[in-house]
Structure 1
Amino acid sequence: MSVEVRIEAGRIARLLRARGGIAHRRISQRTERVARIAESEAPGRMGRYISWKVVEAPRGLEGVIVCDHPAVRFVLDGTRPHLIRPRRRNGVLRFEVDGQVVFTRLVRHPGTRANPFLQRALRLGR
């Protein structure tokens, strides 16, 4: 009596990459966990703009976390001191300082320190 076992690498690879497969579920769980941490680490309402997905890449499955808030680059990289002017030629800027409404034509913004909340989430989610 003899037994023959054949291992087909292509089938095993497809099985591992299949939607709902073991690898897909594990990567989904880890990516979702990191995305939830990123949501909590993000400043203000920026966490609402975070989404995640699992994609098939050339080297296998990858978890991708995206923040599509318009100011995310400024938060992640920080900003240097800069001037803020109204968009319209003769317009004014309106904002609140200590509960009082202020109108002005120019603001000298001191800049902001970088807040790498996505990197921090990745480190905390490991």
Structure 2
Amino acid sequence: MSVEVRLDQGRLARMLRARGGLAERALARRTGRVADIARREAPGSMGAYIDWKVVSEPTGLRGVITCDHPAVNYVLEGTRPHIIRPRRKKALRFDVGGQTVFAKVVHHPGTKPNNFLGRALRAGR
């Protein structure tokens, strides 16, 4: 007894590439999982600005995760030491250890990069 299996490669490729096909669903699951991890890893309210989608291009499918928070580049790249001055008022106002502090100038030490999107990508594999 013998069994013969014939694959229609064109049909199989169309089924994998089709909108809502196997490849797109698998990529959507993985991209959504990575976006969920990124939301948990993001500092402060930045996670609420994370969104994802699957994009179909001539070269194939691509999972895209975006964060449109205005400070995302500063968090991902970090900042060098810099001076902060008030723009609209005479002084800056902030809390330190439960005390309200006013200052005309702040010498910020800078921040280390926090690549939460990269960590999410590595964790979501």
Report the Cα offset of residue 58 of structure 1.
Answer: 3.1
Superposed CA RMSD: 1.6
* Counterpart for residue 112 of structure 1: 111
Residues in 2 aligned to 1:95 and 1:58: alpha-carbon distance in whole angstroms: 51
Once residues 62 and 109 of structure 2 are traced to their aligned partners in structure 1, the CA distance between those partners, rounded to angstroms, is: 39
How far apart are the structure 2 equivalents of 1:75 and 1:68?
Answer: 12
Matched, 1:7 2:15: no
Q: Distance in 2 between matches of 1:84 and 1:15?
A: 56
1:79 counterpart letter in structure 2: T
Q: How does the TM-score come out when normalised to structure 1?
A: 0.87
Pairing 1:35–2:35 present:
yes
Q: Deviations over 1:68-115 (max 9, x none)?
A: 110000001100100001112x53211110111111111100000001
In structure 2, the residue matched to 1:94 is: 93
Q: For the residues of structure 2 that align with 1:113 and 1:6, how far apart are their CA atoms?
A: 53
Q: Which structure 1 residue ranges, 5 or more long, are not aligned?
A: none
2:57 corresponds to 1:57: yes
Displacement after TM superposition at 1:8 (Å): 5.9
Matches of 1:92 and 1:14 in 2, distance apart?
Answer: 63
The C-alpha deviation readout for 1:30-66, integer Å capped at 9, x for no partner, is: 0000000001111111111100000012320110000
Local SS of the residue matching 2:111: coil
Look up the equivalent residue of 1:7 and give its one-letter code: D
TM-score by length of 2: 0.88
5+ residue gaps, structure 2, are 1-5
SS of the equivalent of 1:53 reads strand
Q: How many residues are matched?
A: 120
- Cα separation, 2, equivalents of 1:81 and 1:41: 24
Residue 3 of structure 2 is matched in structure 1 by none
**Matches of 1:23 and 1:121 in 2, distance apart?**
21
What is the SS of the residue equivalent to 2:61? strand
Q: Report percent identity of matched pairs.
A: 63
